[in-house]
Amino acid sequence: MRTNRVASVIALAGAGLVSFAVVHFLTHEIYTVTTWHILSNLVVAGGAGIGLLYVAYWLSDQSFSTARNERILAWTGLGAGVLLAIFLLVQPMAQETVTDEELVHIVQVSLGVGGLLGAAIGSFEARALSRAEEVTRVESRLAALEDERERWAELNTVFGHYVNNSVTVIDFCLADLRERVTDETSREHVEKIADRVETIATVAEHVDRLGPAPEFDSVSPATELASVSEQASHLAEIDADLSMEIPEDGPTVVGGASVAQDLALLLEALAEIAAPDGRIECAFEAQNGAVLARFTARPATLPAGIEDALFEPVTRQSGLKLYFAERSIDSYGALSLARSDDDAVAFEIRFESASDH
């Protein structure tokens, strides 16, 4: 049984109670029936009917399992039946004779109020159990993510250790080969090997960005863009001849725990495609509740291989760094190519403004 069908049943019962209470009030002479009975029937039974209509309206937006829907109906029937039984048992003790009109009044009020209480209890129980299950699922998922993050960190540590050791040995051998090799063709082969080794080292250094995002343990997600960009410029391995222009002040945004390292990786990628004596400019702009951070390298040219497969791990050096940066930034922002021509290359990161939190 679907929840909307349960809502329809309860709405029908509520509408019936309201209709009966109104009809009872309008069709009975005020002097032939006790005034208290007429008014209490209108207020109590009609109010219970309105309450059932509200419960039905609330249930129409919910989606519970069949078992929970059946429990809601069971609670509704149980509440009405129990309260009716109590009234029928207690009434003779308080009053020796009960007229037919009074009996109808007792039945109507007890069924309405009891049904409302039962429907409310059943609905609350269904919502409470659903939320408890949802919390349990979320906690289980968080525990699984934490286990995954720990396994990934362990794997990355082992991977980085062995790869970096191998790269060190290969670099030592390449240095020896450069001294021994004399012909141009062999030198080209050596440099090609060195280029591939550098690519392997780049992957080993930044492969952790492909894993689960780190948690915010004692780290505030609010980040001041100017200061974190300045920090990134110090972390980035950039040629000293390349100048950086970063505003002194900037907006506060929602960023990840690794935002400084991510920006440093982006700056390194821009530095590799910029002219040796060029510069990297940083600018911030608020736009529709978001903050755009633009990093522009000029003069610079984006290689065709990188532009054709942007943010894909198909090219070495700057292409790989852009790939790793985009994957890591994706957990808290959106990295995109804003400009690419003969004069400059600009990448833009859309952050969520911290002022909205």
- Is 345 within 8 Å of 270 (Cβ atoms)? yes
* Higher pLDDT pick, 263 / 137: 263
174-189 mean pLDDT: 84
Choose one of 190, 212, 234: the last residue of a domain.
212
326: its two tokens: 């985009």
Range of the domain at 64: 1-212
If asked whether residues 248 and 185 sit together in one domain, one would say no
Res 209 pLDDT > 50? yes
- Does the residue 320 lie in any domain? yes
The answer on 129 and 22 residing in a single domain is yes
Quote the CA–CA distance of 275 and 304 in Å, as a whole number. Answer: 16
Answer whether residue 217 is part of any domain.
no
Most confident segment among 197-201, 234-238, 343-347: 343-347
342 and 274 belong to one structural domain: yes
98 and 163 co-located in one domain? yes
- pLDDT band per the 50, 70, 90 thresholds, residue 216: very low
Task: Give φ, ψ of 351 to 5 degrees.
Answer: -105, 155
- For the chain, helix, strand, coil in percent to 5 are 65, 15, 20
Asked if the structure places residue 351 within a domain, the reply is: yes
Domain membership of residue 7 (yes or no) is yes
Same domain as 203, residue 66:
yes
**198 and 244, same domain (yes or no):** no
Encoding tokens for residue 181?
């090799």
Same domain for 347 and 266: yes
Residues 41 and 167 in one domain: yes
Contact (CB, 8 A) for 305 and 319: yes
Q: What is the mean pLDDT of the segment spanning 74-84? A: 89
Given this model, what pLDDT does residue 338 score? 92
pLDDT at 32 over 80: no
- In a domain, residue 187? The reply is yes
SS3 285: strand
The helix (H) or strand (E) run that includes residue 9 is helix 3-27
Last residue of a domain, one of 161, 189, 212: 212
Q: Which residues contact 273 (CB under 8 A, 6 or more apart)?
A: 297, 300, 301, 302, 303, 306, 318, 345
DSSP-derived secondary structure for 191-231: HHHHHHHHHHHHHHHHGGGGSPPPP-TT--SEEEHHHHHHH
Q: What is the pLDDT of residue 217?
A: 44
pLDDT number for residue 219: 43
What pTM did the predictor assign? 0.50
Q: Is the predicted pLDDT of residue 172 greater than 50, yes or no?
A: yes
In a domain, 64, yes or no: yes
User: What pLDDT does 16 receive?
Assistant: 87
Q: State whether 129 and 90 are in the same domain.
A: yes
Average pLDDT over residues 51-74: 89
Per residue in 300-346, pLDDT tens? 888 888 888 888 876 666 788 888 888 888 888 899 999 998 889 99
The answer to whether residues 226 and 203 belong to one domain is: no
User: Within a domain: residue 248?
Assistant: yes
pLDDT recorded at residue 349: 93
Domain boundary among 194, 212, 230: 212
Asked if residue 226 belongs to a domain, the reply is yes
Q: Are 255 and 223 in contact (CB under 8 A)?
A: yes
Query: Do 273 and 324 share a structural domain?
Result: yes
Overall average pLDDT of the 243-252 stretch: 81
Q: Mean pLDDT across the stretch 272-293? A: 87
Question: Using 50, 70 and 90 to split pLDDT, how confident is the model at 259?
Answer: confident
- Mean pLDDT across the stretch 109-135? 89
Residue of 6, 131, 26, 127 lying closest to 74 (CA atoms): 6
Question: Per the structure, how many domains does the chain have?
Answer: 2
pLDDT tens column, 92-115? 776 667 667 667 777 878 888 888
The CATH number given to whatever domain includes residue 299 is: 3.30.565.10
- Which of residues 147 and 63 earns the better pLDDT score? 63
Tokens representing 77? 């029937």
Same domain, 237 and 202: no
158: pLDDT strictly greater than 80: no
State residue 315's pLDDT score: 66
